[in-house]
């Protein structure tokens, strides 16, 4: 995740798949990157949170078996 104003990566941002059971998510690394594995295919919605920033919901992220999805937040 990158701060739009400063263009600096934000570490340890919380990212979860909304409605996943059990809850599935990850934190960004020091470069603002994250990776989720073993995600069920389909159209998913992600919630991104970090203290001091507005919560962001990202709808309709399509996950296809065997393909990597890259999101720039």
Record the pTM. 0.86
Strand arrangement of the beta sheet that strand 56-63 belongs to: 25-27, 14-17, 42-49, 56-63
pLDDT at 7: 87
Distance separating alpha carbons of residues 2 and 47, to the nearest angstrom: 15
5 within domain boundaries: no
Domain residue limits at 26: 14-63
Give the count of domains, the chain: 1
- Radius of gyration for the chain, computed over Cα atoms and rounded to the nearest angstrom: 12
Taking the CA atoms of residue 53, residue 61, residue 25 and residue 17 in that order, the dihedral angle to the nearest 10 degrees is 90
7-49: pLDDT as tens digits: 888 899 999 999 999 999 999 999 889 999 999 999 999 999 9
pLDDT at 51: 93
8 within domain boundaries: no
68 within domain boundaries: no
59-68: pLDDT as tens digits: 999 999 988 8
């Amino acid at each position: 995740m990158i701060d739009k104003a400063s263009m600096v990566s934000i570490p340890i941002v919380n990212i979860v798949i909304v409605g996943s059971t059990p809850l599935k998510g990850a934190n960004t690394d020091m470069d603002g990157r994250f990776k989720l594995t073993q995600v069920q295919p389909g159209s998913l919605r992600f919630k991104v949170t970090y203290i001091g920033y507005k919560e962001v919901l990202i709808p309709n992220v399509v996950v296809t078996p065997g393909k990597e999805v890259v999101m720039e937040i």
